[in-house]
Structure 1
Amino acid sequence: MGIERNLADRKGKDFCELPKETITNNRSRRNRRRSSKKMPPVQKLFETCKEVFASSGTGIVPPTQDIDKLRSVLDGIKPEDVDLRPDMPYFMANASHRRPKITYLHIYECEKFSMGIFCLPPSGVIPLHNHPGMTVFSKLLFGTMHIKSYDWVVDLPPETPTSVKPSQSPELRLAKVKVDADFTAPCNPSILYPEDGGNLHCFTAVTACAVLDVLGPPYSDFDGRHCTYYTNYPFPNFSVEGLSIPEEEKNVYEWLQEKDQLEDLKVEGKMYSGPTIVEN
């Protein structure tokens, strides 16, 4: 738009006497050049998120075709697209903490979705936490990470107890392990749904690694989407009358208990400094 305004402000005879078709052709060529310029990957991700999460809200999962579209865009993003390298200070272990400091690079957030990157040094841990009513996309940009994720157990027969209240302790709820494995980039993005896919998860950096996260909608205390952390216990640690799990399946069930405090977790927020997002 700035180009056309500058031309219109010119008072010279040469511009005024240009044939109409010449002006149109020049403008068409400029438009073609603009359209042929490749959109930066992070801008494409932003534009796709705007479409996919346009109607997002607590517990609302985007349509399958939108899920696939956003997954495809995320899958194509590389570390260099967001100006990250494994030798940057974010990924160096800090000996002053038992757990290395984690850096969160804030890219964008609105009421519909958020975009950001977690930078973890070796042995960095993002403790077990939930994503209430949220659909979450995670893309491992580089490195190796151990991911353990759970879903709350809701598919047992009616009247089967799935919680236990120890004396003087917070309630424990039964969860089923969905993933417990190492992942090395490049690998497929992971998707967590409000009730499925491993909505509760823990990240442990085997090597220095970076994770691009997209949340729709983002955390919001005002809207009841609180980030809650948990401690996990093996299933045999607690017995509940009326709850029976086959012996061969007991290793995929664990008890999760809310934590009031997190020890040694240090996350430093920084503004993202990669390619700029343009809001239209």
Structure 2
Amino acid sequence: MRVEGELATKSSGAQLVSKKANRPSKKGKRRQRRPDCKPTMVQRLFDTCKVVFAEATAGFVPPPEDVSRIRSILDSLKPTDVGLSPKLPFFKNIDTSMPPSITYLHVYECHQFSIGIFCLPPSAIIPLHNHPGMTVFSKILFGSMHIKSYDWVVVSQDSVEDPIEALSSGERLAKVKTDEVFTAPCETSILYPASGGNMHCFTAKTKCAVLDVLGPPYSIPDRNCTYYYDRVYAKHAGESPLDIGQGDGYSWLHERAGQPEELLVIGAEYSGPTIVEG
């Protein structure tokens, strides 16, 4: 991975290059909301996530009513609610000789959950990666984005579902969950530790921004991110443990070593409404 400046943190699977640290001040942490002050949308999101993910550990899945609570807020969220506009320089690809860099705005993170925003110029790609043990909410704030996602193909034995073993070449069989273009405004997408498209890839069709809520967040080494190549099913069709014909809707995923060199995520300061802890 190309790095410019001081290495900051790792979130949503990508190492970040920080232009400016974005840590809430002690003074900010001590602030209390006035009882008569209507909370901002991002404050409502934080307050809800704090309750829903209070006991979140790897593999935690919120009950359906709590999933609906978070999704309802995200579905109503607008770019202006987090201080974003397509006119910001994050969404311009200045150096066309290189893959577009992606800007990550760190909104909040604790041991139980994180909130962050990815700002993608046109044609920028977040390569195929996983979310081990996580429930993830993704809300496209503006623009159009192609999302392709997979889940591992599993076999049921004694009421227990296990992923199919990898081939000798390292590939494992996965089933496509999503393969389409989404344009804002659209519903929030949700993936779970073992379903819903836990491994996904984002490709910006236009300049776009996506807000992610991860519960729990990435953590090294417990919940580290893995990147994958996806290969056509026909490549190893003769070795497939399943009889699925031409394998439409299936691919072989092969783990990549480390982080993709073509992926550059630059950390920048979140300038939207302040989150008040308390």
Q: Please tell me the TM-score bracket, short chain as reference.
A: 0.7 to 0.9
In 2, the alpha carbon distance for the partners of 1:119 and 1:155 equals 38
Unaligned runs of 5+ in 1: 1-33
Deviation for aligned residue 1:55? 1.2
**More deviation in 130-139 or 151-160?**
151-160
In 2, the alpha carbon distance for the partners of 1:38 and 1:160 equals 47
Q: Please give the TM-score of this superposition, normalised by the length of structure 2.
A: 0.82
**1:249-268, aligned counterparts within 5 Å?**
250-261=247-258, 262-268=260-266
Deviation for aligned residue 1:243? 2.1
- Runs in 1 of length 4+ with deviation above 3 angstroms? 34-37, 155-162, 239-242
Deviation for aligned residue 1:251? 1.8
Radius of gyration: which is bigger?
A: 1
Which residue identity is paired with 2:248?
Answer: N
In 1, the alpha carbon distance for the partners of 2:167 and 2:244 equals 19
Structure 1 residues 36, 160: CA separation in 2 closer, same or farther (over 3 Å shift)?
Answer: closer
Residue matched to 1:58: 58
In 1, the alpha carbon distance for the partners of 2:77 and 2:47 equals 14
In 1, the alpha carbon distance for the partners of 2:84 and 2:60 equals 32
Q: Which structure shows the bigger proportion of residues in helix conformation?
A: 1
Q: Percent same amino acid among aligned pairs? A: 56
Deviation for aligned residue 1:241? 4.0
Query: Larger relative contact order (C-alpha < 8 A, sep ≥ 6)?
Result: 2
**1:150-165, aligned counterparts within 5 Å?**
150-155=150-155, 162-165=165-168
Residue matched to 2:214: 215
In 2, the alpha carbon distance for the partners of 1:47 and 1:63 equals 17
- Provide Cα deviations, 1:145-194, integer angstroms capped at 9, x if missing partner: 0000000111478999542122xxxx111100000000000000000000
In 1, the alpha carbon distance for the partners of 2:275 and 2:179 equals 35
Residue matched to 1:181: 180
In 2, the alpha carbon distance for the partners of 1:145 and 1:163 equals 30
In 1, the alpha carbon distance for the partners of 2:44 and 2:242 equals 49
Unaligned runs of 5+ in 2: 1-33
Q: Please give the TM-score of this superposition, normalised by the length of structure 1.
A: 0.82
- Provide Cα deviations, 1:217-243, integer angstroms capped at 9, x if missing partner: 000014x10101000000011145462
Deviation for aligned residue 1:245? 3.0
Residue matched to 1:275: 273
Q: CA RMSD in A?
A: 2.0
- Provide Cα deviations, 1:52-101, integer angstroms capped at 9, x if missing partner: 10111100101111111011011111000011001110000132553100
Deviation for aligned residue 1:246? 2.7
- Provide Cα deviations, 1:95-132, integer angstroms capped at 9, x if missing partner: 25531000000000000000000000000000000000
Residue matched to 1:133: 133
Deviation for aligned residue 1:38? 2.1
Deviation for aligned residue 1:138? 0.4
Q: Which secondary structure does the structure 2 equivalent of 1:47 belong to?
A: helix
Residue matched to 2:11: none
- 8 A contact 1:147–1:201 mirrored in 2: yes
Q: Which secondary structure does the structure 1 equivalent of 2:86 belong to?
A: coil
**1:1-280, aligned counterparts within 5 Å?**
35-155=35-155, 162-166=165-169, 171-222=170-221, 224-241=222-239, 243-247=241-245, 250-261=247-258, 262-280=260-278
